Amino acid sequence: MKRILVTGATGFLGKYLTKQLIEKNYKVIAVGRNESAGKKLELLGAEFFRADFTDKKACENIFRGIDCVIHAGALSTVWGKWEDFLNINVKGTENICQLCVENGVKRLIYISSPSIYSGKLHRFDIKENEYDSSNELNYYIKSKIMAEKIIREYNSKGLYTVTIRPRGLFGIGDTSLIPRILNANSKIGIPLFNGGENLVDITCVENVAHACVLAVNAENISGEVFNITNGEPMKFRVILEKFLKAINEKPKYLRLPFRVGYLIALLSEKIYRTFNKPGEPILTVYNVCTLAFSQTLDISNAKEKLGYKPIKTISEGIEEYGEWWKKNKSR
């Protein structure tokens, strides 16, 4: 039985990934910092270790006897201090690579982000090599680009690596995408640029976990990078209205010209950094670019080399989320 170590196992993707791996009869060593979430993973059959991968020494024993590591742990947010992104996403990833090499781990699957494609322009059918390595739209993007460089360096030294870039994860337990939308809708309204006509890709979290499981055994993919989406690009406004309809809420929009939204974001970011304000700006440059421009990804590489095919449609995912939300919103 293969032993798979999952970092960030108590996070949104990590929980789904751990569950699917166990269902496929892998022995899962789940690593995370949330002990209560870790206990739930143990009930599924995982072996849980409360550990922080930014502390290499504290993780040394955990990596012994591991066949494959899926590094899903990260500081994944649009706002924060550079020192935190550097320590967790960059230095932490290097720790993982070193531990893999030192312990003879056969394969490392790294969860990156297609946010590295973002900018002030419409982009369609983006292939994995079509990004600007100097993109610094936010610290998260900068840190992911640096981390991917580390992955490539270790691959060139002989470590078998695979990089996954999943776009716009959503599903039950999501703490980012849908909650942000619902929060904006209940307050100032969801920022809408150009009538929400821009095309976007989103992905059921189950499909991302499925792609990762495929990457555990796929042959001849060392050094490969894979975009992962549902393969169902839709207009931003259509997606919003599907979500809101599923939870019986009416959309409330804040219609803004792009230039106005962009200037508000620039000013907000400057104020937050200058005065070291807690939380995050109501609008960031990254948020505005994501909301205003089309971005769709080419997933043909994953289809061809991983045999990837989505196991859940967007409509199915939204319907499931809506039912869950209506049952749990008052709790």
Q: What is the pLDDT of residue 67?
A: 98
Q: The pTM is what?
A: 0.96
Q: What is the pLDDT of residue 83?
A: 98
Q: What is the pLDDT of residue 181?
A: 84
Q: What is the pLDDT of residue 175?
A: 80
Domains and CATH numbers, the chain: 3-169+203-229+296-311 (3.40.50.720)
What is residue 262's three-state secondary structure? helix
Give me the residues of the chain with pLDDT under 70, please.
330-331
| Count of C-beta atoms within a 10 Å radius of residue 101 | 15
Q: What is the pLDDT of residue 284?
A: 95
Q: What is the pLDDT of residue 54?
A: 96
111-123: pLDDT as tens digits:
999 999 999 999 9
Q: How far apart are CA 268 and CA 262, in angstroms?
A: 10
Q: What is the pLDDT of residue 7?
A: 98
Sign of CA dihedral 123, 168, 273, 10: negative
Sign of CA dihedral 150, 156, 162, 163: positive
Q: What is the pLDDT of residue 301?
A: 98
**The residue type at 11:** G
Q: What is the pLDDT of residue 180?
A: 81
Q: What is the pLDDT of residue 328?
A: 84
Query: What does each C-alpha distance from 92 to 21, 95, 213, 224 come to in angstroms?
Result: 23, 5, 22, 21
Q: What angle do CA 43, 48, 51 make, to 5 degrees?
A: 150
Sign of CA dihedral 262, 84, 142, 145: negative
Q: How far apart are CA 197 and CA 195, in angstroms?
A: 5
Q: What is the pLDDT of residue 36?
A: 95
Q: How far apart are CA 141 and CA 115, in angstroms?
A: 6
Q: What is the pLDDT of residue 286?
A: 96
Q: What is the pLDDT of residue 184?
A: 86
Count each helix (H run) and each strand (E run) in the chain, helices first: 13, 15
Name residues whose C-beta falls within 8 Å of residue 214's C-beta, 6 or more positions apart in sequence: 306, 307, 308
Query: What does each C-alpha distance from 240 to 118, 247, 250, 314 come to in angstroms?
Result: 20, 11, 10, 12
158-216: pLDDT as tens digits:
999 999 999 999 999 988 888 888 888 888 899 999 999 999 999 999 999 999 999 99
